[in-house]
Structure 1
Amino acid sequence: MADGLNNPRQLSFAPNGDLYIAEAGTGGVGPCLDGDEGEVCYGRTGSVTRIRGGVATRVLTRLPSLAGAGGFGASGPSDIAVRRNGTYLLTLGLGSDPATRATLPGPARQLGTVLVGTLPAAGGVGGDLAAHEAADDPDGQGIDSNPTSVEIVGGKNYVIDAGANALLRQSGSAISTVSVFENRMVPKPPFLPPPGLMPMQSVPTTVVGGPDGALYVSELTGFPFPAGEARIWRVVPGSAPTVYASGLTNVTGLAFAGRTLYAVEFSSAGLLTVPEGEVPTGSLLRITPGASRHTVIAGGLTAPYGVAIRGGSAYVTTCGLCAGIGGVVKIGR
């Protein structure tokens, strides 16, 4: 459906059937700063691509982006939701302490926020998620913000901040915490003696609205990224999250088709198994509620990231951490 994309992340359909893809960009020549994965440099290379009638066109460009050498694994536009009237919400990742934004040029200070606008115009900051993290630190694990997903449910705007391990609500400039996803103990990898347990962060990645009105949240999991330990949470605001499905690995995308939930595993074998310099291989799954085993719809996908459903097909972003060679594939479900 599309190729030549730069770090394509989440994607979603507008009510008129247009498909929008958030591209995190390739960073730029700087200024540079220390991110979660090492030095990253700033550039206005983020964008949003629209697929209409089989034709892919970038409709928003020159959005802020941070990336390391070669543009791999950028932070920038991460998810978009478009309403019937053409207004949109767009999350911009950061992957760092919000204080680092002060060292960057003005447009870069949109990183870690939700932009609100009307296509094809550039948007303004609708809510500063990174500032909320700096002020409140919902998970109490230190200041780190990386917005990765936005969803409109019942007229309310919900956002995932993966760095904060939190599901947030955005209403105008106000940001509030809906749920925090806590650490849990998992076995250490063999190269970290002595044997025993270590804490692992949840690292939520995407939020979607379910047919029951609840919110569903996937998790990547943090280091050591063990296979089979990622979960999907069901969240009813005001109540504690409950586990909807388990037995998954490094989940980055969710989408409902009717009452059936689909998920994308970014790395089906676990990120720790990926050799240095190579990209992960993942899968599109049909989820069985409450189960630890799920149906593989398509495996062997190159670093798949987001998923959107329309009719009998799933649309999945591929090479989601790649510069210039990302894409969107259409898969029968």
Structure 2
Amino acid sequence: MAAGSAGVSSVAAHERPTPPHAPEVVASGLNAPRQLAFSPGGALYVAEAGTTGTSGCQPSPLDPTVQACVGLTGSVARVGHAGRVTRVVTGLPSAGTPTEPLGPADLVFTGTHSFALTIGLGGDPAYRTAFGPKGARLGTLVRVDLMPRHHRGPRVTKLADLTGYEARVNPDGTDIDSNPVGLARARGGFVYADAGANAVNSTRHGGSTVAVLAPVPTTQPSPVGPPGFPADAVPTDVVKGPDGAWYVSQLVGFPFEKGASTIWRVVPGHAPTAYATGLTNVTSLAFDHRGRLYAVEIAADGLLSGPIGALVRVRPGSTAPDVVAGGLFAPYGLALRGHHAYVTTHSTEPGAGQVVKIDL
């Protein structure tokens, strides 16, 4: 994804009325912010993928002509009063290239001061091993205790090797590639979307596969094939719906075609069914208190046209979403609270990431 910056201009209200869903910046200065979540006490926390580093450099799986490196620059930040950003967990791995860092991805609170956190990878176990000790937690699910007993500072412990599960099982039967991102709490464990594996998996009983998303046929010719070339499904987020089923978003891989993304309804033991179609490059989902589904499109016209995305509302059976707020630069994560949506933007940029609040 291309990275850049977008300026914000201020215009007096009498000259240009504020749109009803105009985003309000509530935090800035973040390092590639991804998903975000509210704690049981109401504080907002953000997973930051980081700024990579200079260690263990090796050819990137996405482009062997560039080097992917690792550093301990990933973090989790708390957004406080007046937008104050406090990094409550630091020293987490961040790997890849400066414009496409992978690291802390999604967090789910398990207690007042504890949460589970996915850490991305974007490769296989050998790729992770080549990064050395700094990359050991890539591709894993960890538990973070912010206030552990008899321990100074947060404690981070590994709960599951998610990349190891991909290597053992390989649910989609293609190449071994793991990038765990979206996370949801489930009875007895967690359910997560592995964007590299094209699968939604569970951590229960040492790991199991909840669903595999099929490749998506392209409709336009691309440099790698004619129309019909199968693009990777790339599941990005998983949430539990009011009906108890899992709902899964997808980005869809290269060439990231507009309208190619589907939101899937998944009942374990059954094939996924389409809940809504016609979306584009979806990265996050959330249901509000009325059972309405919202989603983030990181690039509303497809990533090859630039990362200008939107917050949308998705109606069951729809073939196109309703735009709530457009023109967002590289939006990614989504959390709902009351009558507001909180969205991370500038999600690939070191130091330029933001959280914006949008009235619903």
Shift of 1:155: 5.2
- Aligned with 1:198 (options 215, 219, 229): 229
2:128 is paired with a residue of what secondary structure? Answer: helix
For normalisation by structure 1, the TM-score amounts to 0.93
Per the TM alignment, residue 240 of structure 1 is displaced from its structure 2 partner at its CA by 1.3
Instruction: Answer whether contact 1:82 1:88 (CA < 8 A) is retained.
Output: yes
Q: 1:234 aligns with which of 258, 265, 270?
A: 265
SS in 2 for 1:132: helix
CA distance in 2, matches of 1:117, 1:283: 31
**Is it true that 1:326 corresponds to 2:359 in the alignment?**
no
Q: Which range moved further: 298-307 or 150-159?
A: 150-159
SS in structure 2 at match of 1:298: strand
> How far has the Cα of 1:176 moved from its partner?
1.4
Aligned residues: 324
Question: Which structure is larger by alpha-carbon Rg, 1 or 2?
Answer: 2
Match of 2:51 in 1: 26
Residue aligning to 1:122 = 155
Shift in Å, 1:40:
1.0
Mapping 1:173-192, distance limit 5 Å: 174-189=206-221
**Aligned equivalent of 1:89, options 98, 116, 134:** 116
146-155 or 238-247: bigger deviation: 146-155
Given candidates 234, 237, 244, the residue that maps to 1:213 is 244
User: Structure 2 vs 1, CA of residues 192 and 79 (structure 1 numbering), >3 Å: closer, same or farther?
Assistant: closer
1:46 alignment partner AA: G
Q: Which amino acid in the other structure matches residue 100 of structure 2?
A: G
Aligned partners of 1:189 and 1:224 also within 8 Å: no
* CA distance in 1: counterparts of 2:75 and 2:155, whole angstroms: 10
Opposite residue 87 of structure 1, the aligned amino acid is S
Corresponding letter in the other structure for 1:175: G
Work out the percentage of aligned pairs sharing the same amino acid: 47
Q: Conserved in 1, the CA contact under 8 Å of 2:69 and 2:131?
A: no
- Matched to 2:237, the amino acid is T
Report the 3-state secondary structure (helix = DSSP H, G, I; strand = E; otherwise coil) of the residue aligned with 1:131: helix
Counterpart check, 1:66 vs 2:95: yes
Cα distance in 2 between the residues matched to 1:5 and 1:73: 15
Secondary structure at the aligned position of 2:197 is classed as: coil
Which consecutive unaligned segments of at least 5 residues does structure 1 have?
275-279
Is residue 305 of structure 1 aligned with residue 332 of structure 2?
yes
Which residue number corresponds to residue 146 of structure 1? 179
Q: Which is worse superposed, 218-227 or 118-127? A: 118-127
Corresponding position: 1:99 with 2:126:
yes
Measured at CA, do residues 293 and 104 of structure 1 come closer, stay the same or move farther in structure 2, by a change above 3 Å? closer
Give the Cα separation in 2 of the matches to 1:190 and 1:101: 30
Q: Is the 8 A contact 1:16 1:84 kept in 2?
A: no
TM-score by length of 2: 0.86
The answer on 1:3 being equivalent to 2:35 is: no
Matched residue, 2:14: none
- Secondary structure at the aligned position of 2:155 is classed as coil
**Residue in 2 aligned with 1:264?**
296
> 1:264, 1:305 within 8 Å by CA — same for their partners in 2?
yes
Instruction: Tell me the secondary structure at the aligned position of residue 237 of structure 1.
Output: coil
Q: Measure, in 2, the Cα distance between the counterparts of 1:19 and 1:108.
A: 27
For structure 2, the 5+ residue unaligned runs are 1-25, 148-153
